[in-house]
Amino acid sequence: MMKVFAITNQKGGVGKTTSAVNLAASLAVRHQRVLLIDLDPQGNATTGSGIDKSRLPRSVYHVLIGQAGVLDAAQYSPGAGYAVLPANRELAGAEVELVDMPNREFQLRRALTACENDYDLVLIDCPPALNMLTVNGLVAASKVLIPMQCEYYALEGLSDLVQTIKRVRHHLNPQLEIEGLLRTMFDPRNQLAQQVAAQLQHHFGAKLYRTVIPRNVRLAEAPSHGKAAMHYDASSRGALAYQDLADELLQRLASPIAAQ
């Protein structure tokens, strides 16, 4: 059965797109049929997957407004083994067009039902804002993966995000739950980072992934080459960390009790 993850954080710059691209690539080499949905008009997950966002015959925009199906618009990331439902600036217009649509929050969910036998895992890279695109991502998903830096302001933003998830679950998607919190750009030498990590462990327990993503130059360089880190420098600390995350996520899916 296809599992759909929304990768989201209302705070920008926390490694959300980096996590989406690198997790997709790491799951693909583990023989998972992966679809990465770029739901951000900036299209960073698209370019980070080696797809030219200026030359898209169809994109997630056309899927959301009902002009194309997911399988019609999806492309494969070159050499990476996962499919991408790409995005570009055109997606910003979908917000306006969705306003007058009936059941506008369910457009992505409805589109995914047509391809639920084609993929094992769907990762949705949501924009860093609570807008109609993010709501579509949360309604389409059953699980939420939250990347976050271990810093003071991140805790404030996390509280707002948890409340948003609760509201979506109450009003639109009763199946939605937090799958896990991922510590990104982590520097173990930073005392504040250690303190915030301890607070996360206290409040979220097993929801906090054991895997920690370090600050890593290769992770930052890889998107400019249109590659995930494992296809840019497989031996880098960042690439290895996302492979560990893929293993941990698959273990959780095989044994859901482990994440409770």
Residue 84 in 3-state DSSP?
strand
The β-bridge relationship of strands 177-186 and 143-148 is parallel
What are the C-alpha distances in Å from 51 to residues 26, 87, 114, 119, 258?
Answer: 18, 10, 24, 20, 36
Residue 4 in 3-state DSSP?
strand
Q: What is the pTM of this model?
A: 0.95
Measured CA to CA, the distance from residue 89 to residue 101 in angstroms comes to 20
Kindly list the structural domains of the chain, giving each domain's residue range(s) and its CATH number in brackets, ordered by start. 3-259 (3.40.50.300)
Measured CA to CA, the distance from residue 53 to residue 150 in angstroms comes to 32
Q: Digits of tens for pLDDT over the chain (260 positions)?
A: 899 999 999 888 889 999 999 999 999 999 999 999 999 999 999 999 999 999 999 999 999 999 999 999 999 999 999 999 999 999 998 888 988 888 999 999 999 999 999 999 999 999 998 899 999 999 999 999 999 988 877 777 788 899 999 999 999 999 999 999 999 988 878 888 888 888 888 888 999 999 999 999 999 999 999 999 999 999 999 999 999 999 999 999 997 655 55
The β-bridge relationship of strands 75-76 and 143-148 is unpaired
Closest CA to 20 of 39, 1, 42, 41: 39
